[in-house]
Structure 1
Amino acid sequence: MDDLVTERLVLHPMSAAEAERLLAPGPADAAAWAPGYPAEVDAIGARNFLSTCEETGDPQPFGAYEIRRRADGLAIGGLGFHGPADEDGSVTIGYGLIPSVRGEGYATEAVRALLRLAREHGVRSVRGDTAHDNVASQRVMTAAGLHLVAEDDQLKYYELSWT
């Protein structure tokens, strides 16, 4: 699978070897990462990705992606799918950035690219969720085209559907 390239970002499809390095980095890895990367959410994503690879094989294009800035090539976060499309053609996404780059539009740019990829691969709807107090993530999903469809005591649920 090739990298997804946007105006300011490269979304690099993670391999199992790269996910393992993220969990146990060496000195060379740190040189490719912005300070603060990987965050705990990136480690969780890498573990989930490795679990999926063990259970069903590499899920690409519906796997994990490392978010890199084109300007310097440094990894600043991650995003991806929680798995391949279900029987209804729906996928769930997640994303995160290191704190020092939040508020610069990178998350929205990355999510939009992921939505395009999903649509190109026949997905009919994309879902995401966020905590009630995570207003920044709510703005990202809204700016990327997802709509609030439900909420419960803990989360707000967003979705974008194509007919």
Structure 2
Amino acid sequence: MTRPVQAGEVRLERVPVAVARGLVRGDLSRPATWHPQFPAAGTLSAARMLLGTYEALGVDPEGSPWWFFCVVVEGVVVGDAGFHGPPPQDGPAEVEIGYQVVPALRGRGVATRACALLLTHAWAHGADVVRAEVEPDNPYGPASRAVLLANGLRPDGDLGFVAERPVGPRT
């Protein structure tokens, strides 16, 4: 049996905007630090979606906290996790998250820890509400729902999960 990954072994590293643009252009050259199964099709979709969102808003994503990150375990990029874009300018600061881990590391707690790190990041940067969706045709849906529940998100509708800022001072 493969051992679970320990909490301290998982970290998030911001994907440079230039790398995201390269992925969208089809540059799939893999740095030595990327797992052979990374990037996944979802990584490319996330980069395309985020760049399109920021372009439509007329905002430079460089330095924005509402971006996406490489999931790193023992110095190797094994997935990605991040936000679907910045919160709206008016109303509660609500963001949506997504994440994925390479098949070789699924079931070892990596996605659970990455999700926890995303939530910590969201609260630290002023989010009031964090949402996530699990599509019904997602073959990893049960595992993804378990990740969200383990991180305190609660079901909200057919596909959605939601968490609200923990009570206490903003950091």
SS across alignment from 2:28: coil
State the shift of 1:111 in Å: 0.7
Superposition misfits of 4+ residues, deviation over 4 angstroms: none
Distance 2:93 2:21 in 1: 29
Distance 1:100 1:130 in 2: 21
Is this contact kept in 2: 1:13–1:66, CA < 8 A?
A: yes
- Listed one character per residue, the Cα deviations across residues 106-141 of structure 1 (whole Å, up to 9, x for unaligned) are 111011111011111121110001023610000000
State the shift of 1:68 in Å: 1.1
Spell out the pairing of 1:97-136 with structure 2 (5 A cutoff): 97-132=101-136, 134-136=141-143
Distance 1:38 1:135 in 2: 22
Is this contact kept in 1: 2:67–2:85, CA < 8 A?
A: yes
Is this contact kept in 1: 2:79–2:101, CA < 8 A?
A: yes
**Aligned with 1:143 (options 137, 146, 150):** 150
Going from structure 1 to structure 2, the CA distance change for 1:21 and 1:9 (only over 3 Å counts) comes to farther
CA RMSD across the alignment? 1.7
How does the TM-score come out when normalised to structure 2? 0.81
Q: Structure 1: which 5+ runs fail to align?
A: 1-5
How does the TM-score come out when normalised to structure 1? 0.84
Number of positions where the alignment pairs a residue of Structure 1 with one of Structure 2: 150
Is this contact kept in 1: 2:54–2:85, CA < 8 A?
A: no
Which residue in 2 is equivalent to 1:45?
46
Which residue in 1 is equivalent to 2:85?
83
State the shift of 1:40 in Å: 0.3
Q: Structure 2: which 5+ runs fail to align?
A: 1-6
- Listed one character per residue, the Cα deviations across residues 87-116 of structure 1 (whole Å, up to 9, x for unaligned) are 321111111111111001011101111101
SS across alignment from 1:131: coil
Distance 1:113 1:159 in 2: 16
Question: What is the percentage of aligned positions where both structures have the same residue?
Answer: 31
**Aligned with 1:161 (options 136, 158, 164):** 164
State the shift of 1:20 in Å: 2.9
State the shift of 1:49 in Å: 2.5
Is this contact kept in 1: 2:93–2:126, CA < 8 A?
A: yes
State the shift of 1:53 in Å: 4.1
Is this contact kept in 1: 2:112–2:148, CA < 8 A?
A: yes
Distance 2:32 2:21 in 1: 17
State the shift of 1:30 in Å: 3.8
